[in-house]
Amino acid sequence: MLLVGWALLSAGCGEVPVVPLSAEQTLATDAVTEISSAALQERFRVTPHASNSELGGRVAEVTGTVVLVGISKDLGNVVLLSGGRKGTKPVVCQMAAPRPWDSLTPGLPVTIKGQVSRVQPGSAALVRQAHVIQVDSESAEASRFTADDLCGSFAESRENAAQILGDRWIRVRGAVASIDRINNWVYLSGGAGRLVRCALAGKDDELSWDPDLGIDERIEVVGQVMNGDGRQVILQGCLPPRRNINPEITAKQPLEDTPQPAGGVRLSARTNGD
C-alpha cells in the first residue's frame, strides 16, 4: 500500500482519436477481450503500435494479481496488476470508484474492467475508468484478521507468525487504542495489553489520519506486516481506514500457512466489496 508517485502518459498515437468513456459507459460496454494482465502487458511491450490500434479506446476485462493499491498524483486511485515475470511493468488501472483499498489488498486475484488507453511505447499498459467485477472471495477472507487474533498469533509463536505473515498484506479490524499524529501512527487494541501499530503510507504529511478519528472507534486498516512480537505487531504502508466497523466478525481459524494466490487465476466468486 504505497503512494504512487510516478506518472504514466497517454499517447496521442493512432489515426482516430480515442473518445474517453465515463465510468457508467465503461461498465455498460461489452468487453472486446478477456485477457490476463501479464498477456496485456506483454502485448503492449512487444507490439505497442498494433496494440494501441487494436485495443486503444476499447473496453477489456483484465485478470491478474493485485501488486499495489494506492493513490497516484496523476491518476488518482489506482490498482496495479502483475505484469508477469519479474521486472515487467505492471498494468495500471485508474479506478472509477474511490478508495479501492477498502475491498482489495495486494496478493488478491481480481478481474478489472476498463477502457484501455493508448500509451507511448515502453510505458505500462493503462486501463481507465476501471471497475472491479470479480475477486477471489476465499483469498480475500484469508487476508482478514482481528487485531486480537493477529497479536495472539505473534504472542503464541513469533517465529511461526513471522514466517507465515512477514511482508504479507492483510486487513485488520480493531478498536483505536491511541493516535500518534506526529509519527502518523494509529494503535489498535490487540487484547491483553498488546497493540497493532499502523503506519500511514507516504511521507512529508502526504496523508494524515482523519482529524475526528477517536479512541475506541472500530476501524479496518489494510497494511503490510513488517514485524511483531508478543507485545506489538507493526503494519506499514497503510492508507486511510474504513471507519465505524461492525465489531462482529467471524473468528479466525488457527493461523495456517495459507497458499498465496498466483497471477492468471480464473476467479471463483463475485463480490461488491465488503
Q: What is the pLDDT of residues 57-104, one digit of tens each?
A: 999 999 999 999 998 888 999 999 999 888 889 999 999 999 999 999
Query: Has residue 30 been placed in a domain?
Result: yes
Residue 96's CB: how many other CB atoms inside 10 A? 22
Task: Indicate whether 199 and 223 sit together in one domain.
Answer: yes
What are the tens digits of pLDDT across the range 43-58? Answer: 999 999 999 999 999 9
Task: Indicate whether 200 and 119 sit together in one domain.
Answer: no
The band of 2, judged by pLDDT with boundaries at 50, 70 and 90, is low
The domain boundary, picked from 88, 109, 138, lies at 138
Grid cell at residue 221:
486498516
The band of 204, judged by pLDDT with boundaries at 50, 70 and 90, is low
CB contact at 8 A, 36 and 62: yes
Query: Has residue 49 been placed in a domain?
Result: yes
Q: Which domain holds residue 167?
A: 143-243
The domain boundary, picked from 120, 138, 156, lies at 138
The band of 203, judged by pLDDT with boundaries at 50, 70 and 90, is confident
What are the tens digits of pLDDT across the range 150-197? Answer: 999 999 999 999 999 999 999 999 999 999 999 999 999 999 999 999
CATH number at residue 23: 2.40.50.140
Task: Indicate whether 114 and 20 sit together in one domain.
Answer: yes
Task: Indicate whether 147 and 127 sit together in one domain.
Answer: no
Query: Has residue 253 been placed in a domain?
Result: no
Query: Has residue 103 been placed in a domain?
Result: yes
Query: Has residue 273 been placed in a domain?
Result: no
Name the residue with higher pLDDT: 246 or 108: 108
Amino acid 257: pLDDT: 47
For the whole model, what pTM was predicted? 0.84
Task: Indicate whether 110 and 185 sit together in one domain.
Answer: no
Query: Has residue 263 been placed in a domain?
Result: no
Task: Indicate whether 164 and 105 sit together in one domain.
Answer: no
Query: Has residue 33 been placed in a domain?
Result: yes
Task: Indicate whether 109 and 123 sit together in one domain.
Answer: yes
Task: Indicate whether 100 and 195 sit together in one domain.
Answer: no
Q: Characterize the bridge pairing of strands 144-146 and 169-180.
A: parallel
The domain boundary, picked from 138, 160, 182, lies at 138
Task: Indicate whether 80 and 150 sit together in one domain.
Answer: no
Task: Indicate whether 133 and 225 sit together in one domain.
Answer: no
Task: Indicate whether 124 and 188 sit together in one domain.
Answer: no
Query: Has residue 152 been placed in a domain?
Result: yes
Provide the domain count of the chain. Answer: 2
Task: Indicate whether 154 and 134 sit together in one domain.
Answer: no
